Each structure stands twice: as structure tokens, then as C-alpha cells.
């Protein structure tokens, strides 16, 4: 595997993201902005049971009038491509430098950090790609306070929060009656549920590969199996620490998370366990496909060698007969020097004998059952 990864240095950088690791001696709290990151776009939703404000804002300072109200304020920052704006976000929301570092310097391992009046939750979100098997993956950071929730996403194009936004817009369920802790649960639950459509695509792809491996395995089949195993490993790395983080929310508790919301978080934890079970199952199936592929290739090679052996066994006696009659002894010197060369029916008899030998061997191989794998069968 290491040798294969060396062939794809861009893939290695994408997987491990070494360019975002801190250099030794870096000051704690230092943030690094990727030059390719999209510029931030800020959306604000402020709501209670009767009122709703939803708008896109240009600067973080526009959030200040909403932060101390009794209503729930959700500020969603999408994109990490402006260091100055992100630092201003940190000032407006009074974020600890280490919090801002965890939010901006992606990727971070999913975790929970308690900062007295704020709770930091790092999560990993996946969104399925359209028409192909694969997914987009990005970090989502939650900063939970008593009256507001700040979320920071890597990319503005893909997220799985539209269902939560629709519930707030239409006042469906109890979300407009609850506080910021319930909003946090709803978004976390949407992230966990977003793994299921991705895994459904992988389940369908694995079923296709199972038939392909049995019927017609190729080198491309092996590449697809290897790609699926690698991507399932990425899903496992995303969901495993996420389960521990949600469990910490339930077990350790926080003044910002109510007892009622912890009950809902248990259901979210159950979903993470289901996702982990599905990921492990698909990884085992993919590993099994690798073994089946190697067995299928080996069996195919054995069948080819068997066919060549059968063909060789038929032509060896024919070659012997042809070799005997190709020696050209002079029949005038001795009556024992191949007298059949002077027979009237000598050539047809020789051809008939050779055909009889060939068909006789084929009949013998058929009776032994050695030709059954070479006979095409109809597939339903």
C-alpha cells in the first residue's frame, strides 16, 4: 500500500493534509488560512416561537445586537478564506485563541471542549456526490453559548442543514420552542444522518462489484475495490471520534446542554453506532471482494492453463503421426520403408486416423468431466 501511495503524492497530501500541520515552535492560537479556501459567507437566523429573522450579513459586527437577546441566534459562517474576517468573528463572539485555532486550522479530530460559558464541538460532515459513488467531506465547528450558536463550515457549496432550516422557517416540530442546545442537537443529528445516503451508495456499488468480480474481473475492478476500501477508511476515521464526542456530551454533561436535550442526544448516539456498524460491514465486504478477486483471477488462469493442456494433449499424437510420415524413407530400397506411401487410399486413411485420435481424446476428456468449464452456459 505504501508503494502505491508513493505513486500518487497529490493523493497523499489530500489524505493527510500535511500542509496544515503546525511547524515546531508555532505560537499556540496561531491560525493559518489556506489560499485556496473560499471566502466566508455569513448567514444569520434569529427566532423564537413567534418571530423569525433570516438574512445574509456582510460583517460579523452585524450579529452583535442579536447576541444578548432571549431569542435563539444561529450564525452560520461558510468558508475559511479570509483571515481578517475570521479574527473579527473571534472578537465579536469572544472566542478563546485556541478555539479559533481549532475552528480555522482544519482538519481537526472531532471532539468536545468546554470553555465555561462556551462549548466547542468539532464535527465531520459528509455529503454524497451526485451520480457517482463518493462524498464531499468537511469540518463543521459549533460554538454553543446560552443564547446563540455559531457554526463554521469549510465549504459554502455543500451541507446537510437544509432540513433544519426548513423546520425553523415553517415552525415544524418543537425546534422554535427550544433553545440553542436543541438547535445544536438538530444540526448534529443532521450530520450523522448524512452518513446514511453515502453508505447506501457504497452498498449499491459493492453489490455491482460482487457480480463484476465473479463474472468478469479486470484490473479496473481491482482499482475500484481499492478506492472503496480507502474511502470507507476515511468514513471510519470521521465517524469513530464523532461517536466518542457525542457520548462525552451525554456522559460528562454541560450547563449549556439541558437534560431533555441529552435524551435526544442518546438517539443521535445510536445513529452513530449504526453508521459505524455499516462502515465496518462494508469494509469487511470490500476486503472479501479483494480475496474473491484474487481467487477469480487465479481460477481464470487455471482454466486457461487447462484449456491449453487439453489442446496440447490432442495435438501431441497428431504431431507424432505427421512426424512419422514426414521422414520420407525411400520405398525402392526396402519393402519395409513405409509401404503405405504407395497405397491408393493412404492419405485419406492417415487423415481419418488422425481425426479419430482427436475425437477420441475429446470424448475421453468429456467423459472425465474436464471440458465442462469450457462449454458456455446461459445466464438468467
Q: SS3 sequence, 180-194?
A: HHHHHHHHHHHHHHC
Q: Classify 109 as helix, strand or coil.
A: coil
The SS3 call for residue 34 is coil
The pLDDT of 275-297, averaged and rounded, is 88
Name which of 199-208, 293-302, 356-365 the model is least confident about: 293-302
pLDDT tens, residue by residue, 200-212: 999 989 988 888 8
Domain ranges within the chain, ordered by starting residue: 2-295, 325-374
- Could you tell me what percent of the chain has a pLDDT over 90? 42
User: Would you say 103 and 152 are in contact if contact means Cβ atoms under 8 Å apart?
Assistant: yes
What pLDDT shows up at residue 359? Answer: 86
- Considering the four listed CATH numbers 1.10.260.40, 3.30.460.20, 3.40.30.10, 3.40.50.300, the one that applies to the domain covering 2-295 is 3.30.460.20
Task: Please give the pLDDT value at position 373.
Answer: 59
Cell of 230: 480507502
Residue 289 or 328, more confident? 289
Residues 79 and 155 sit within 8 Å (Cβ to Cβ)? yes
Comparison of pLDDT for 241 and 311, the residue scoring more: 241
pLDDT of 14 strictly over 60: no
Regarding predicted confidence, which is higher, 300 or 126? 126
Contact 107, 20 (CB under 8 A): yes
Band of residue 131 on the pLDDT scale cut at 50, 70, 90: low
Residue with cell 436535550: 261
pLDDT over 60 at 20, yes or no: no
| Whole-number pLDDT of residue 374 | 58
User: What is the pLDDT at residue 280?
Assistant: 93
Contacts 24+ apart (CB under 8 A), 95-104: 95/143, 97/28, 97/29, 98/28, 98/29, 99/143, 100/29, 100/31, 101/28, 101/29, 101/30, 101/31, 102/141, 103/141, 103/143, 103/152, 104/31, 104/32, 104/33, 104/80, 104/152
> Which residue in 141, 81, 79 sits closest to 109, CA to CA?
141
- Kindly tell me if the per-residue pLDDT of 19 is higher than 70: no
Amino acid at each position: 500500500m505504501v508503494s502505491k501511495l508513493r505513486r500518487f503524492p497529490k493523493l497523499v497530501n489530500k489524505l493527510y493534509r500535511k500542509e496544515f500541520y503546525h511547524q515546531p515552535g508555532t505560537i499556540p492560537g496561531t491560525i493559518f488560512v489556506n489560499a485556496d479556501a473560499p471566502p466566508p459567507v455569513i448567514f444569520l437566523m434569529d427566532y423564537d416561537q413567534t418571530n423569525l429573522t433570516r438574512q445574509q450579513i456582510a460583517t460579523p459586527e452585524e450579529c452583535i445586537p442579536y447576541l444578548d437577546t432571549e431569542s435563539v441566534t444561529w450564525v452560520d459562517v461558510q468558508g475559511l478564506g479570509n483571515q481578517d474576517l475570521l479574527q473579527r468573528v473571534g472578537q465579536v463572539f469572544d472566542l478563546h485563541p485556541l478555539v479559533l485555532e481549532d475552528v480555522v486550522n482544519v482538519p481537526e479530530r472531532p471532539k468536545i471542549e468546554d470553555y465555561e460559558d462556551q462549548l466547542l464541538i468539532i464535527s465531520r460532515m459528509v455529503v454524497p456526490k451526485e451520480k457517482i459513488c463518493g462524498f464531499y467531506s468537511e469540518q463543521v465547528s459549533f460554538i454553543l453559548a446560552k443564547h446563540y450558536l455559531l457554526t463554521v463550515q469549510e465549504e459554502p457549496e455543500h451541507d446537510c442543514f437544509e432540513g433544519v432550516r426548513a423546520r425553523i422557517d415553517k415552525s415544524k416540530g418543537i425546534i422554535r420552542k427550544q433553545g440553542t442546545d436543541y438547535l445544536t442537537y438538530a444540526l448534529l443529528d443532521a450530520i450523522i444522518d448524512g452518513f446514511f445516503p453515502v453508505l447506501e451508495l457504497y452498498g449499491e456499488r459493492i453489490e455491482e462489484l460482487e457480480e463484476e468480480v465473479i463474472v468478469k474481473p479486470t484490473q479496473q475492478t481491482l482499482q475500484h475495490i481499492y478506492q472503496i476500501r480507502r474511502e470507507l477508511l476515511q468514513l471510519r476515521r470521521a465517524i469513530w471520534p464523532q461517536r466518542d464526542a457525542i457520548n462525552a456530551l451525554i456522559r460528562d454533561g454541560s450547563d449549556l446542554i439541558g437534560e431533555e436535550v441529552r435524551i435526544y442526544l442518546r438517539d443521535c448516539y445510536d445513529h452513530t453506532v449504526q453508521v459505524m456498524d455499516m462502515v465496518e460491514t462494508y469494509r469487511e465486504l470490500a476486503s472479501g471482494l479483494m480475496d474473491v478477486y484474487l481467487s477469480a483471477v487465479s481460477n481464470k488462469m487455471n482454466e486457461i492453463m487447462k484449456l491449453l493442456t487439453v489442446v496440447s494433449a490432442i495435438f501431441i499424437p497428431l504431431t507424432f503421426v505427421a512426424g512419422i510420415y514426414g521422414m520420407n524413407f525411400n520405398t525402392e530400397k526396402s519393402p519395409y520403408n513405409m509401404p503405405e506411401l504407395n497405397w491408393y487410399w493412404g492419405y485419406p486413411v492417415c487423415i481419418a486416423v488422425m481425426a479419430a485420435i482427436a475425437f477420441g481424446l475429446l470424448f475421453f476428456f468429456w467423459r472425465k468431466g474436464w471440458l465442462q468449464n469450457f462449454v458456455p452456459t446461459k445466464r438468467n
